[in-house]
Amino acid sequence: MSYLALYRKYRSQTFDEVMGQRHVTQTLKNALRTGKVAHAYLFCGPRGTGKTTTARLIAKALNCDAAPTDNPCNKCEPCIRITEGRSMDVIEIDAASNRGIDDIKELREQVRYAPTQERYKCYIIDEVHQLSADAFNALLKTLEEPPPHVYFILATTEAHRVPKTIVSRCQRFDFRTATVQDLMQNLRRVASAEGIKISEEALWVIARAANGGWRDSLSLLEQVAAYSSDEEISAQEVNAILGSVELPALFALADAVASRNPGEVFLTIDRLVSEGKEPRRLLTALGGHFRDLMLTIAAYEHAVERFGPELAAQYREQAQKVPPKFLLHAAETLQTAESQLKWSADHRLLLELTLLKLAYEVDGRGQEQQTAPPAVRTQQEAPSAKPAASKIEPRPSVEQTKALEKPPQTTVRPQQRISLEAVLARWHEVRELVRQNSKSLYPLLERT
Ligand SMILES: [Zn+2]
């Protein structure tokens, strides 16, 4: 099933409608207005950020009856032809399926001929990094001396795979992924135009799941709208439809870890799994959750922009329960566990062990954090003791210098590290301990 209808319907038809890429559209508008359009552009950026849309707008602006203009009229014949994708002279090529030397040779032949319908020929080559080396060489020759009636717009999601020789022949623009706030604004506009009733929180879940892509966000909105009834769509519904993990579940799991309470870890996982959450999804989403927690600690303003003020505050509150270093460690550990998912027959066990390990390590890391200040203080005190010593001996001996450089180790307790393998190897002992100490937990463990 294709979910592209909304994206097509709401595709930007003017440069001002292209959202979140003002740094690109402003420059292009100036070039179009002053007649200084480059003959080759390279548009770089993730999928669904508006590269092809912008390329088509250039084609329209160049060929519009009102040209030279930075604002295609969308009413004249050329504009309509290009919008509907039936102009003979605006040629879109998918480099993924036309990557060979012969394809580009053919293109070089065609390029020589004058346009048939429009004033200019525009070649839009998508995913240009897919071209073979020979094809790139052939293309380079055309780019070196483009005929005056031809414009090239190359688009790629992987700019580093485009040869430097090609890049240097093009004017390059980098398209940005949209922020959650950008996407929400657009989703709100489309939802109200389409009469889709949906809560703000639900829009947020969609915007987040779209991962910065305009196209994806609209496809998701469409999927959600197709499944729901006339009532306002809630965040829970969106989560259920998209199969994503609800935020409360992630907060609960992270809380269980942060509270250093292994029992709580088991109970929370048991509750979530019995509610129908998949351990695999929980594991993956929790990795993202810890990354988000880290973001709120590292760059709060950015987090507010991304999550909105309320959620950002909620993230910060949770993040502050553990040492910042632990957040990084947790995100890394979960990412490693995520890569083990495909080898693991029991995803629930993997989730439990990973979180247990983290719950134990919060303490280990916490102690490390607490003991750090005394060590720093000792180092600071050391230089102040120096002047007195220098009266007797002008320079400290090598031994003394070494002693000063070395922070006292005795106060720092060794880190408490438990590898997943170690826990797995002694799982029967863990079970036994739980059996002896917790009657309520043991039945849960028996199922693993
Ligand atoms: Zn026009």
Domain CATH number, residue 323: 1.20.272.10
Separation of CA 80 and ligand 1 centre (Å) = 7
Residues 315 and 417 in one domain: yes
Closest CA to 156 of 139, 141, 144, 180: 139
**What does the pLDDT read at residue 435?**
58
Residues in the chain: 448
Cα 257 from chain centre: 25
Q: Which amino acid is at 364?
A: G
pLDDT (tens digit per residue) in 42-90: 999 988 889 999 999 999 999 999 988 999 999 999 999 999 999 999 9
**What does the pLDDT read at residue 390?**
38
CATH number where 146 lies: 3.40.50.300
Is 430 within a domain? yes
Q: Which amino acid is at 310?
A: E
Is 386 within a domain? no
- Does residue 242 contact residue 220 with C-beta atoms inside 8 Å? yes
**What does the pLDDT read at residue 230?**
74
**What does the pLDDT read at residue 343?**
80
Residues 196 and 262 in one domain: no
Residues 100 and 133 in one domain: yes
Is 399 within a domain? no
**What does the pLDDT read at residue 416?**
47
Residues 82 and 230 in one domain: no
Distance CA(318)–CA(104), nearest Å, equals 55
3-state SS assignment for residue 38: coil
**What does the pLDDT read at residue 398?**
44
Residues 189 and 322 in one domain: no
- Does residue 423 contact residue 433 with C-beta atoms inside 8 Å? no
**What does the pLDDT read at residue 70?**
93
Is 197 within a domain? yes
Separation of CA 177 and ligand 1 centre (Å) = 29
3-state SS assignment for residue 230: coil
Residue 388 token pair: 């007195």
Domain that holds residue 225: 180-242
List the strands of the sheet with 121-126, edge to edge: 90-94, 121-126, 150-156, 40-44, 171-174
Is 393 within a domain? no
Separation of CA 65 and ligand 1 centre (Å) = 5
**What does the pLDDT read at residue 400?**
44
Separation of CA 60 and ligand 1 centre (Å) = 7
**What does the pLDDT read at residue 357?**
92
- How many domains does the structure of the chain reveal? 3
Residues 159 and 257 in one domain: no
- All residue ranges of the chain with pLDDT < 50 are 1-3, 365-416, 447-448
Residues 73 and 212 in one domain: no
* Residue that finishes a domain, picked among 224, 242, 260: 242
* CB-based burial label for 255 (10 Å; 0-12, 13-18, 19+): middle
Q: What is the ipTM of this complex?
A: 0.99
Separation of CA 34 and ligand 1 centre (Å) = 17
